[in-house]
Every structure is written in structure tokens, then in C-alpha cells.
Amino acid sequence: MNMNFRIQLEPMAKLARIGEINGYEAAGDAPHAEHTRPGCFTPAQPKPTRQERNAASLRRSIMKVATPRGPKPVLRTMMTTACERNCFYCPFRAGRSSAERLTLQPDELADGFTRMQKAGMVDGLFLSSGIIGGGVRAQDKIIDTAEILRKKQNYPGYIHLKIMPGSEYEQVRRSMQLADRVSINLEGATPGRLAGLAPQKEFWDDLMQRLLWTEQIRSRERVRASSVTQFVVGAVGDTDLELVSLSEKLYRQARLSRIYYSSFYPVPDTPFEDLPSASLKRQHRLYQASFLLRDYDWDTEDIGFGPDQNLRLDVDPKQAWADIYLRAAPIELNRADRPTLLRVPGIGPKSADRILRARRQSTLTDLQHLRALGVPSPQKAAPYVLLNGRQPVHQLSLFPVP
């Protein structure tokens, strides 16, 4: 393909091409259900036309995402796939000759998105960018696009904006006024891990400072945006203990609404191309631990780590804790307070509230009671609880619970 053709690509064709190559980052509230790795284009027919290929690529850039406004088809795209930085894991890193570089101006991107939105293809935008000319310049383009959508196109729907490393306080603030969600990806759990992943990013000044700004801005004025971050897991020796303990601080101090754990996947023609993929099971266990911190009031020290400072892969962290502390000393469901109920496998925040309400009316005596309350898996809770002084009958599982 010659350069002239690339320059002359229409906005929709550029969006389609970006959709074909941009598949790495989770965007919504159920990241484990999203497809975040690039796949090969699988044509419906042996020789798809360019139009068919573009349509398929465009579809690939639309993700069904669980947003704070409910599940939405979200266009996940970038202002540019060109970048002056050299993050070791990234398909868009500077100097990666096999990467196609495509750039959209704010009005082009806003126009393409609006066409897709009016055609009923999407109802949400997740906008990221490579960096050319510094983080401030890249952030300006992201903000300009959101301004066009909100002010000129009067788009009221879901927008998730990436905050570039090095962007200014006022840019973070404006992004938070325009978006439903902003993300600032820390990538590594410590400055040393980040240096191993992305040597040109500075952990405290470029990234963490901006995450803390988002909480400061929320505390000072009414802005709609929540904030999130992402870690690349398993490329540079990071441990789950590092990731979980930083996650706890971020939930408590920066009030992040979500933390994404993206298991490392080697991209050809990058310095990490020969590293092995990180385990998806590990990613899953990190999400489980993260939810315990965020939704169950657990602390890092409540979560068990092995001698290698990683979570067990064979059992979820809540069950691992309960096997140690609750099997020999089950808790009485008719008396336990909410935090204690939340320690029991199979009992989440909704189930705990239902149990608290129900026992004001009557005594809970068997698993059928719990089932009638809507507790989804009372059998899971059974080995760890007493109901009116007695351990409920439960079947021993022949297989480990995932």
C-alpha cells in the first residue's frame, strides 16, 4: 500500500483500519468479558472486497461494554496510532516498522463517530491516542473531539477519555467535565516495574499525580467522570502482592471506580516479542482480589499470597481465606454483622443485605431460606456458616470451584 493511499483514507476507513489493529485495552465494567487482544481478520468469504473488510474492521472496533449507564455498544478508537514513545509492550511504539500509522483530526473523528451513532451502530466512545508532540498536545486533540461531540453534535451519551502522561491539570479537569470516565494507565505497580515496561514514562510525575488530581477535582466541583487505571500484568516480574497493595491505595486514596488488569501478550516486532504470554487465570484472580478490596471492604492483608507473593491460581482468594478461617469456626448467619457476612464465599453485598433484612422478620434455619432470598449459590456458603446453631447439609464438591 502506498503512502498516498493512507493519507487519502476517509475518516470512516481510518476508523475501520484502527479497529483492525487496536484491540488491546479493556474499556468497561466487565473487562473479563471483553475481547482485548488483536485477532486475525476472518473473512466470511475467501476474498472479501475492501468494503467488506472495512465493514468487518469497523465492527471489530465496537465493543459491547458494561458502562455506568448500562451495557452499550462502544466505539473503541484512537486519535492516532503514531507515537513518539517506546513502551516495550505496545504495538504503536515508536520505530515499530510493521505498525500502520493513522491519524484522525478531532472533527474527522467526531464526524465518523456521529455517523456511526446515528446509524445505530454505537452508543458510546472510548477514545485513546498515541503521543506526537508531547502529552499536552495529544490531550488537546482528545478534548477537542469530546468538545465537538458534546457542544456541536449535542451527543449526550457515554464518553470515556484517556488522559495522556504529562497532561496539565486544566486538561484533566476539562476532560472530566466532558467525559463519563477518564483513565490514566499506571501500567506498572511500582516505579521500577513501570521503567521495565515503559522507560519514557515517569510513575509519579506523569501518571500517579494525574490520578490523584482526578480525586481532587471531584472533591472540589461537580464533574461527571469517574476514574480508572490499568496494569500490564506478567511481563516484568511484577507480583500480585505489588498489584493488590497498590490497588488498595488507589481505591482508598484516589477513589478509583475500577482497576483493569491486562495480562501481558507479546506483540511481534517489539522488544517483548519473545516473552511468554501471561496467564489469563492470573488476570482473573487479580480481578477477584480487586473486587474484594473495592466492594467487600477487604484489606490487602486479608488476602492470601504464596511464597512467591502471588495469588493462588487454583482457588479464588475469598474461598482460600474462608478455608483457613471459617471452616473450623463457621459464622452464625442469624447474628453476623455485614462485614462478617461478606467474608463468606457465595455471599456478596446484595445477598448480605437480603440476609440482614430477612432475619429481622424470622430466623434463618436452612439453605432453602437463603435460596428463597435470592442468594445465588447457598451451597457455596454452606461449609462456612451456621443456621440457627446448626451447619447446613451440603454436598462436598468433587471438583475445585473456579
> What's the min distance (Å) between Cβ of 87 and ligand SF4?
3
**Rounded to the nearest 5 degrees, what angle is found at the Cα of 376, between the Cα atoms of 374 and 382?**
105
C-alpha to C-alpha distance for 402 and 234, rounded to whole angstroms = 21
Q: Which 8-state DSSP code applies to residue 134?
A: -
Strands (E), 293-368: 331-332
> What's the min distance (Å) between Cβ of 85 and ligand SF4?
4
Cβ-based nearer residue to ligand SF4, 54 or 128: 128
83 is an interface residue for ligand SF4 by CB under 6 A: yes
- Which amino acid, 291? F
**Cβ atoms of 77 and 109 closer than 8 Å:** yes
> What's the min distance (Å) between Cβ of 271 and ligand SF4?
12
> What's the min distance (Å) between Cβ of 93 and ligand SF4?
4
**Cβ atoms of 243 and 231 closer than 8 Å:** yes
> Pattern 195-234, binding to ligand SF4, x per CB under 6 A?
---x------------------------------------
- Which amino acid, 219? S
The interface region with ligand SF4, picked from 53-61, 68-76, 83-91, 394-402 by CB under 6 A, is 83-91
Cβ-based nearer residue to ligand SF4, 198 or 228: 198
> What's the min distance (Å) between Cβ of 83 and ligand SF4?
3
C-alpha to C-alpha distance for 258 and 242, rounded to whole angstroms = 17
Displacement of CA 392 from its chain's centroid (Å): 38
Contacting residue, 90, 142, 208, 235, with ligand SF4 by CB under 6 A: 90
C-alpha to C-alpha distance for 110 and 154, rounded to whole angstroms = 11
> What's the min distance (Å) between Cβ of 62 and ligand SF4?
21
C-alpha to C-alpha distance for 176 and 7, rounded to whole angstroms = 32
> Pattern 128-157, binding to ligand SF4, x per CB under 6 A?
--xx--------------------------
> Pattern 342-371, binding to ligand SF4, x per CB under 6 A?
------------------------------
Q: Which 8-state DSSP code applies to residue 164?
A: P
Element (H, E) at 355: helix 349-361
C-alpha to C-alpha distance for 88 and 322, rounded to whole angstroms = 39
**Cβ atoms of 317 and 292 closer than 8 Å:** yes
The interface region with ligand SF4, picked from 10-18, 85-93, 258-266, 353-361 by CB under 6 A, is 85-93
264 is an interface residue for ligand SF4 by CB under 6 A: no
92 is an interface residue for ligand SF4 by CB under 6 A: yes
C-alpha to C-alpha distance for 117 and 139, rounded to whole angstroms = 23
The interface region with ligand SF4, picked from 87-95, 150-158, 323-331, 392-400 by CB under 6 A, is 87-95
Chain residues in the site for ligand SF4 (CB under 6 A) = 83, 85, 87, 90, 92-93, 130-131, 198
